Amino acid sequence: MKNLTQLLVAAFFIAMTAASASAQIKYVAVVETEVDEQSGAAAKLNKAEVRQVTAELRNVAVKNLPRDIYNIMTSETVISQGSAKLEECAEENCVIALGATIGADYIVRGIVSKLGTSLTLSVEMYETEDGNLVATSGLVRSENIAELVDKAAVVCADMYKTFVSSQRSKPKTQATQATYTVTVDVNPPNSGYVSRNPDKTEYDAGEKLSLTATAYDGYTFTSWSGASGSTKTTLTGLINNDMTLTANFSQTPELEPNPEPSAPKPYAGIAQAPPAKKNLTLVAVGLDVLGAGILVYGINMESNVKDNINAMMWSDAENSAKQRNIAYTIGTIILLSGISVHILF
C-alpha cells in the first residue's frame, strides 16, 4: 500500500510538471522571406532561391531555440492556417497580424535586398502579442545566394542565442489567460443552425474551434460572412480575438412536378402489330425456318440412301435411312408447330 501511494504521488508530480511545461510552450512561425521591393528586381531571385533562404532560417530556429520552450511551426502549418497569403504580406504590421491569426507567439522573417553587386540579408523577430521587435540579426552580404545563406545561418544562430538568454533573464510574472467570444448568426432566421465544437461561450487564446452549418429542410447553405467568407460548411481555426460570423442559407427552389405521360400518337403510316403479337410472329417464322431446314436435311439423307444402295453399301444406307426418318419426323413436328402459331395467334 505504501509503494502504491508513492507511485501515485510521483505520477501526480510528473503530470503537473508536464502540464506546466506544456503551458510554457511558445510557437514560432518563420514566414516567407521578403524581397525588398526597391532592389528586389535587380536581385533577380527566383522563388526556389527565396524558399531556400526561408528553409535555412527555419532550420536555424529549430537548432537554436530550446525545444522545451519553443515550437517551430512547419511551413505547411503556417500556410494552411494563415488567412492571408504570405507573399502578399510584406508590410511589418501585416506579418504580425498573420502571426496572431495562425496562433504564433513569435514571427520571424528575412528581408533580402541588393546593394551594388552584393545581396544583403537581415532577419527580424517580432512578438505578435504587442508587435514589438524582440530580436534582429546582423546584416550579411554576398554576391551569390548559397554563400548568403551560409552566412545567414551563423548570424541567426547568434540572434536566437541572444534572444533566449534575454528571455531567461526576465522576471517571471503570472500571465493572465486571454479569452475571446465568438458570436454566430443565421441568415435568414430559421433557415438552419450552427453547431460548435467545443460548445462554449468563451474560448482561451489559441484554442481550436470548429463551426458547422446545417440547413433545415427547404434551404441550402451558401457561404459564411463576417470574419470569414468561406463556402465550406465547416470552419476550423484557432481563436485569437473576438469574432462574429454569419451562416448564410438560400431557399431551395421547388421542383416542378413531372408531367403525366401522354398517350402514344397513332402512327400515320402502315399499321403495326402489338409487341406481343409481333414476338409470336417472330417465333412462328423461326419455327417454320427451322422445320424446313430439318426437312431439307432429311431429303439430303434420302439421296444418300439411294446412293449407298446403288453402291451396295448396306450399312451406310441403313444409317442414312435412320437419319432421314428422324429428320422427317422432327422437321414435320416443328414446321407444324410454326403453322399452328400462325393460325392460333
Residue spans per domain, the chain:
24-168, 179-251, 275-344
Instruction: Write out pLDDT tens, residues 193-235.
Output: 999 999 988 999 888 999 999 999 999 999 999 888 889 999 9
Helix (H) or strand (E) run with residue 254 in it:
none
- 8 Å CB contact between 108 and 65: no
- 8 Å CB contact between 160 and 123: no
Q: Give the type of residue at 169.
A: S
- Total-model pTM: 0.43
CATH 1.10.3720.10 fits 24-168, yes or no: no
pLDDT at 148: 84
What's the whole-number mean pLDDT along residues 88-99?
62
What's the whole-number mean pLDDT along residues 284-295?
79
Q: CA 264 to CA 242: how far, in whole Å?
A: 66
Q: CA 100 to CA 84: how far, in whole Å?
A: 12
